[in-house]
Chain A
Amino acid sequence: MWQIDTTTLSGKVSMALIVLGAFVLAFGLIPVLQTLPPRGRRALIAVVTFLVGAFFAAEFFMPLTQDDKNYLTPGIQPAQNALQIIGSLALGLGTYGLVRLHLRNVVQKRGQWGYSVVLLIAFVTMATFSIWNTLAEKRILARTPLLDRGFSLLFDYTLIQLDAAMFSIIAFYIYSAAYRAFRIRSIEASILMFTAMVVMIGIVPLGAYMSEQLFGLPREVPPNAHPFSLEAILYSLRLPEIADWILKQLNAPVQRAIEFGVGIGGLAMAIRLWLSLERGIT
């Protein structure tokens, strides 16, 4: 009942009418919303939020039949299509806002407007080649040597390199910060620093190399060795084993506790959003 067969003529006509209707509704809704008083607008948004939230929650919690579906499951697909469209519209809205802001900077010659010119040129060039490339992939437009060279130059040799270089700079800040901030001023700080060092060395091949060559610890333990035999104890003292133990036995429970806390907080926040209790949501 939720799906339209677009392979038939009637299906195509129905789909076209639905798209047209949705278009008129969406653009007709904006002036209607503008005429509503703020309280009415808030109430409308709260009702829509509650209904959509209730639909997804009900679909998730309702018992399933043998084919892993319930009465609401077929409605999930159109609802999700709508969500994808809203997500895409948000991207478009962001792009519109960005271009508008920088165009205004250029037109009004605000401070550092030259950067806005660079941004706009880069934006238009990248968008042109990117859209052209996507359409060429779908065989809607022809793939030409200009497209291949242009897209490769902009994407592979400019965007990727700049993005990777920018992120890699963090390593230098971390290094400088570690030198200045990692000071042994208390027992807790000492434990933290020692643990970090063991994990940093233990997880890389150098940790195993040092354990075997520097400390003379065994590379492996015989399969039938007793857990408290000398070989087993020496093996467990290797840096990779200690690092693994720290990650599994100390890190994992702490992460679990944090995630429980975050989960409960997330649930409370979701309920507040669903019921439009969160300030600023409407």
Chain B
Amino acid sequence: MQEMRPLTVWERMLAIDRRWLYLTLFVSIIVFLLLPVRLPAVISPPVRKFYDAIERLQPGDIVMVSSNWSASTIAENQPQLEAVLRHLMRKKVRFTLMSVEAQSRDISLRLANRLAKEFGYEYGKDWVHFGFYTDLIVAIKGMTNDLPATVKQDVKGTPASQLEVLKGVKSLKDYKMVIDVTPSSTVPYWISYRPKNLIVLYCPTSVMAAEAYTFLDSGQIEGMITGAKGAQEYEQLLGIVGLGTRFINGIQFSHVLIILTILLGNLALFMQRLSREA
């Protein structure tokens, strides 16, 4: 019977049980999330433009916030939405929320309720939630033609015509901007069907951001906050410590871990080949 050759260190590394990898990542995320060290963010141009666009708003202007994310992307979209709503409330801007994601209706409503209490924002007067829509294109086209007729009522059942926040608003043309917080590719619909005077700001998850650079380049999107990392930059501009700032250590050191592991895997492959040739 042929005797089994003991595995070399490199061969062991290449055949490592994936559960060890999972454990390494898990420990890394936990340790670096708890690490009190905070590195300052470099503000990327899309985040700076996003911030500047909201800074240009005047008190009383009205903004549409399209919140279309569910709990699966909460780690990226919640820090974005929270930072953006805080900025809008600081600027005393009126805003209306809507969702084409069923879960997001409740998540965004509860989040906005919590922040509204903090900033003294009154529901119905300073902000309102229009609820869930099954089709975004239909909703945008309808609101562009006649907003109250499309919306009909808010989540509390108040008719759109009686909402103080919509005073003087006939359609989306009366809005200053739309902010799309989403992990899905909904922003092309806003770009295509919005009234042309409406500025589009975008808060995608990190994985969706690469697709949006073409719209940023053309000016169809004025600014973008990329995932939790973008939220950290935005929080830094606002001078607050929010979820993005708390999450960034976990994110950046996970990146480092992934890079180191890939390099280690390649080193192991290289050494294994060398030992075979020898």
Instruction: List residues of A whose CB falls within 8 A of some B CB.
Output: 3, 68-69, 73-74, 76-77, 80-81, 83-84, 87-88, 90-91, 133-134, 137-140, 155-156, 159-164, 166-168, 171-172, 175-176, 178-180, 182-184, 193, 197, 200-201, 203-209, 240, 244, 247-248, 251-253, 255-256, 259
Contact = CB atoms under 8 A, between A and B. Distances in A.
B39 A172 contact: no
B241 to A, nearest CB: 14
Given A160-B103, A203-B229, A207-B42, 7 more contacts: A77-B146, A84-B133, A139-B157, A248-B213, A251-B210, A255-B213, A255-B214
Contact of B25 (A84, A139, A171, A259): A171
B73 to A, nearest CB: 7
A232 B141 CA distance: 47
A142 B248 CA distance: 42
A51 to B, nearest CB: 17
Contacts of A172: 21-22, 25-26
A120 to B, nearest CB: 19
A128 B106 CA distance: 15
A183 B167 CA distance: 60
B40 interface: yes
Contacts, number: 157
A216 to B, nearest CB: 17
Contacts of B141: 76, 80
Contacts of B9: none
A109 B209 CA distance: 47
Contacts of A182: 262, 265-266
A14 B155 CA distance: 27
Given A164-B75, A182-B262, A183-B266, A205 B149 contact: no
B72 A164 contact: yes
Of the listed residues A76, A88, A193, the one surrounded by the most CB atoms of chain B closer than 10 A to its CB is: A76
B134 A87 contact: yes
B142 interface: yes
A200 B138 contact: no
Nearest to A169: B22
Nearest to A56: B141
Q: Chain A interface secondary structure, helix, strand, loop or mixed? A: helix
Nearest to B22: A172
A138 B214 contact: no
Given A87-B134, A171-B25, A183-B265, A205 B252 contact: yes
Contact of B217 (A68, A76, A248): A248
A255 B149 CA distance: 37
Chain B contact residues: over half helix, strand or loop, or mixed?
helix
Interface stretch (B50-58, B60-68, B80-88, B253-261): B253-261
A155 B106 contact: yes
Contacts of B169: none
Contacts of B72: 163-164, 166-167
A155 B70 CA distance: 12
B248 A205 contact: yes
Nearest to B192: A60
- Counting chain B CB atoms within 10 Å of each CB, the highest count among A81, A133, A161, A206 belongs to A206
Interface string B1-45: 000000000000000101001100110000000000001111011
B213 A247 contact: yes
B259 A197 contact: yes
Contacts of A134: 155
A206 B40 contact: no
Contacts of B70: 163
